[in-house]
Amino acid sequence: MSARRFRQDHLLGIEQLSVDDIEIILETAEAFIEVSSRDVKKVPALKGKTVVNLFFENSTRTRSSFEIAAKRLSADLINFNSSISSLKKGETLKDTVLTLEAMNPHIIVIRHSASGSPHYLTTFARSSIVNAGDGFHEHPTQALLDALTIQQRLKTLRGLKIAIVGDILHSRVARSNIILHQKMGNEIALIGPPSLVPTEFEKMGAKVCYDIRSGVKNADVVMMLRVQEERGAKNYFPSIREYRNRFAISREIFALAKKSAILMHPGPINRDVEIETSMADSEQSVILQQVTNGIAVRMAVLYLLKGEIHETLN
Ligand code: CP
């Protein structure tokens, strides 16, 4: 466990984290991986603490892994269901959060379609706020679990070429990864059709590339993104067939990356649109390792925000 101190009250984005903060989260997550390999997968680090999962958008991975993470830390967890809540009766987000806060939770994990909603909560809430995805803006725990997976497989988080392919425009996963790898000093190539990869992204320190072959060439990491139908992404290119022909990861395209390269995807994947099935299930694919690492990273985040240092590994 690192002797350095994590000094954040919330996890709003990768933007707010220093390189030290990122390294502390990853070191702490490494320690929690061992807990998940035990027969009894529980430590008392958050005993007596309450975590609220406040999800206003669909989720399989993030919501369930925050739930498992909180339970493995012995926290009490409430899963708030927005579809049966009083929001349906006209209650505002602020009143909903104030109502939940009146029950004295310690951490609120929020996913919301509005960019900046976790930041808004910090203006009036007493709990630590964790961003589980806000609109097109950030998805910090996804970028952190991606970083942990890269570090495990490639033994470093520095000196890498990271190729991110697909719907960058609508992707909070892309934004958080760009910010993280920019902080780590890595080379970032963004690949996709011009309508989904505006040159605006070059201001974030990434290179924009419209040809998948040159973008993927010599990459250490190829990160595919989902075509976000719910955000209208299909209107940004002529047809799925054309998109697949130009940007899907096939064996032939992946062979242009380094021999040691890994293939990532935050999920959910659209097989044979973004990734050929044989590549998604290949040795180079780390998609399920990303999911597994999500638990350790989210345990680390919850613990660093509200845990008791000396209790962690007992
Ligand atoms: N990667 C990710 O955020 O997946 P979910 O939408 O299933 O949580």
Nearest alpha-carbon partner for 179 in 229, 142, 232: 142
Ligand 1 within 6 A of CB of 60: yes
pLDDT per residue as tens, the chain (314 positions): 546 789 899 999 999 999 999 999 999 999 999 999 999 999 999 999 999 999 999 999 999 999 999 999 999 999 988 877 777 778 899 999 999 999 999 999 999 999 999 999 999 999 999 999 999 999 999 999 999 999 999 999 999 999 999 999 999 999 999 999 999 999 999 999 999 999 999 999 999 999 999 999 999 999 999 887 776 667 777 788 888 999 999 999 999 999 999 999 999 998 988 999 999 999 999 999 999 999 999 999 999 999 875 444 44
**Choice from 54, 59, 172 to test ligand 1 binding pocket (greatest atom count within 8 A of CB):** 59
Ligand 1 pocket member 65 (CB < 6 A): no
If 0-12 CB within 10 Å is exposed, 13-18 middle and 19+ buried, where does residue 289 land? middle
Beta strands 207-209; 187-191: pairing state: parallel
Closest residue by Cα to residue 58 from 223, 192, 175, 228 = 228
In testing the pocket of ligand 1, which one of 53, 54, 56, 60 has its CB within 8 Å of the most ligand atoms? 60
> Which residue, by CA, sits nearest to atom 4 of ligand 1?
61
The structural domains of the chain, with segments of one domain joined by +, span 14-138+292-313, 140-286
Quick one: which atom of ligand 1 is closest to the CA of 58?
6
- 221/241 Cα distance (integer angstroms): 25
3-state secondary structure 40-59: CCCCCCCCCCEEEEEECCCC
Is 14-138+292-313's fold the same as 140-286's?
Answer: yes
pLDDT of residue 311: 40
| Cβ of 64 less than 6 Å from ligand 1 | no
How far is ligand 1, taken at its centre, from the CA of residue 285, in Å?
17
- Per DSSP, the three-state class of 116 is coil
Q: Which residues pair with 221 in a beta bridge?
A: 162, 262
Rg (CA), the chain: 19
What's the CATH fold of domain 140-286? Rossmann fold (3.40.50)
Cβ–ligand 1 distance for 171 under 6 Å, the answer: no
Instruction: Classify 104 in phi/psi space as left (phi over 0), alpha (psi -120 to 50) or beta.
Output: left
What is the reported pTM? 0.94
Correct CATH for 14-138+292-313 of 3.40.50.2000, 2.30.30.30, 3.40.50.1370, 3.90.25.10: 3.40.50.1370
Nearest to 62, CA basis, from 293, 300, 261: 293
Query: Is the minimum distance from the CB of 267 to ligand 1 under 6 angstroms?
Result: yes
Distance 267 CA to ligand 1 centre (A): 6
